[in-house]
Amino acid sequence: MAGRVDLDGNPIKPMTICMIGAGGFIGSHLCEKLMSETPHTVLAVDVYSDKIKHLLEPTSLPWNGRIQFHRINIKNDSRLEGLIKMADLTVNLAAICTPADYNTRPLDTIYSNFIDALPVVKYCSENGKRLIHFSTCEVYGKTIGAFLPEDSPLRQDPAYFVLSEEASPCIFGPIEKQRWSYACAKQLIERLIYAEGAENGLEFTIVRPFNWIGPRMDFIPGIDGPSEGVPRVLACFSNNLLRHEPLKLVDGGHSQRTFIYIKDAIEAVFLMIENPARANGHIFNVGNPNNEVTVKQLAEMMTQVYSKVSGETPLETPTVDVSSKEFYGEGYDDSDKRIPDMTIINRQLGWNPKTSLWDLLESTLTYQHRTYAEAVKQAMSKTTAN
């Protein structure tokens, strides 16, 4: 840890980071790396701590004293401002961010992603504190190409689908498609942060994650989350594989995504944390443009990789089609394609993702199998016995 320098060769001073949403998927990986590789201190704020329990106990851990957990709901807790004042930097990850909630709990989604983030922005601005705020690639909505005729050659032209921070428009569906409640709330908080920067000098960085996946993402329904809960696609497909049931392809699984390994993405956030002069005032796409697949291809790859890591033979019919209305309910809509433009993050931070989709699926599904296979087997045998 000694002698750590930033990208411009300046020594990095130990800092205190107020991390809101530290108990979630991304927060747990950020905390883990901050503890093992830096001298920084983390004030970890969340309503849950299960995913960072291994960093908080026992007290003999080498980083004892450098991470403190504060069980706080930022909706209504006066301790929040004090923690932001104590820190040099605030990282805000707190959000409702599972698509199954956007159309079924639109009010909670809008409050969580916009209203609840307002005091965080205000306290940072008023107290002259730096803010790294987590937004989403979903602020881009649909691509321009999605509106071209199916057979238009322009659909192959990157100008019609690559998503660029400083050039692409944000294209959402109609209001009755409540899927876009999340994207719209995130867009408005981005605009507010940007305006605080322009009018009041707030030092900010906005991160737009493009489908970060890896261990500890979401939950397995009925094991460490509600039986009827619908997590994001990695956990949905993992759950199907663990239960030896077909993977459900929403509306045929034609939508395209680029997936990035959580550990690659965390490297990018580290560079932002430790290089404020290069990161302040910027919005960064963080994704892996080389890992593009349709959801159907993802299902096929996960089936193949899971069979390898578990030793189980795949089902004869490994996938089944399901309509979005049946799977998510009324008001669902989808992003068609998400390729991040990497120009800005490359220029400012010299960062590039490394891990291929095959490799990241292998390490992630090895983790899922090791962590959940036994618990799922027991839960299934109990259900059969009853």
The residues binding ligand NAD (CB under 6 A) are 21, 23-27, 46-48, 73-75, 93-95, 97, 112, 116, 134, 136-137, 209, 211-212
Residue in 18, 233, 305, 309 binding ligand UDP, rule: CB under 6 A: 233
Determine, following the binding rule CB under 6 A, whether residue 208 of this chain makes contact with ligand UDP.
Answer: no
Q: Which of 102, 123, 140, 182 is catalytic?
A: 182
Q: Which three-class secondary structure state does DSSP give residue 382?
A: helix
- Active site includes 182? yes
Which of ligand UDP, ligand NAD, none sits in contact with 334, Cβ below 5 to 8 A by type? ligand UDP
Determine, following the binding rule CB under 6 A, whether residue 232 of this chain makes contact with ligand UDP.
Answer: yes
Helix, strand, coil percentages (3-state) for the chain, rounded to 5, are 45, 15, 40
Hey, what are 209's tokens? Answer: 């994650």
The distance of closest approach from Cβ of residue 217 to ligand NAD in the complex, given in angstroms and rounded to an integer, is: 7
Which of ligand UDP, ligand NAD, none sits in contact with 26, Cβ below 5 to 8 A by type? ligand NAD
Distance CA 187, CA 140 (A): 9
Which of ligand UDP, ligand NAD, none sits in contact with 21, Cβ below 5 to 8 A by type? ligand NAD
Total interface residues for ligand UDP by CB under 6 A? 15
Strand positions, DSSP E, 240-288:
247-250, 256-258, 260-261, 282-286
Dihedral (Cα; 78, 79, 85, 90), 10-degree rounding: -100
Distance CA 83, CA 365 (A): 37
Residue closest to ligand NAD (Cβ): 24
The distance of closest approach from Cβ of residue 96 to ligand UDP in the complex, given in angstroms and rounded to an integer, is: 12
Q: b/e per residue, 210-247, with b = 16+ CB within 10 A?
A: bbbbbbbbbbbbbeeeeeebbbbbbbbbbbbbbbeebb
Q: In the complex with ligand NAD, which residue's Cβ is closer, 21 or 141?
A: 21
Q: Is the backbone of residue 207 left (phi > 0), alpha (psi -120 to 50) or beta?
A: beta
Q: Candidates 32-40, 127-135, 189-197, 243-251 — which segment interacts with ligand UDP by CB under 6 A?
A: 243-251
| Residues engaged in binding ligand UDP (CB under 6 A) | 99, 138, 211, 232-233, 236, 248-250, 253, 255, 257, 295, 334-335
